[in-house]
Amino acid sequence: MKRCKVCRKKPRIRRRVNNEGILFCSDDCYEEFEDSPDDIDHPYINDYEAIRYEYIQWMNNYVDDLYMYWLYGAPKKESLLEQIDDLLGEFIDFYALEGQDGVFSAEIYNYLIDFEQLQKEIRNFEVDEKELKKRREVLYEEKRRRTEKEMWG
């Protein structure tokens, strides 16, 4: 596995590349790299930044969103899957390119494939009863604290 050009860490969800294909583990390392070309003029930079941001948000929140249904009744799996479909639709042109039009095109295409995989995970998601119990306990504890605070100030 490739490592970050600056800190040598293994890149994870927040990974990013520049238009030369140099890999960074985060925005901080990307900005710290002195020899990096200016990506701002690249034709796909805005699309890359947008899908990267969405991917980070989804990966950080989708499990919580799935448990929200069991705790609050919304959103349902179908709703989450529709949201991803809408997102994929915004980048449909990049499917045709199949990542063959440069570094950012390849990255965007890889994110599209990752979102398709995420859809499969969401479809197959089953609640872990122990995790659900923990989340309910946290929810009840938060509610109890709010009630006490309202009563006692």
Q: Secondary structure of 76-106 in the HEC alphabet?
A: CHHHHHHHHHHHHHHCHHHHHHCCCCCHHHH
pLDDT digit string (tens) for 76-122? 899 999 999 999 999 999 999 999 999 999 999 999 999 999 999 99
pLDDT digit string (tens) for 20-73? 999 999 999 999 998 777 788 899 999 999 999 999 999 999 999 998 887 877
| pTM for this predicted structure | 0.84
Element spanning 74, H or E: none
Determine the Cα–Cα distance for residues 27 and 17; give it in Å rounded to an integer: 9
Question: What pLDDT shows up at residue 146?
Answer: 87
**16 DSSP β-pair partners:** 24
Element spanning 45, H or E: helix 45-72
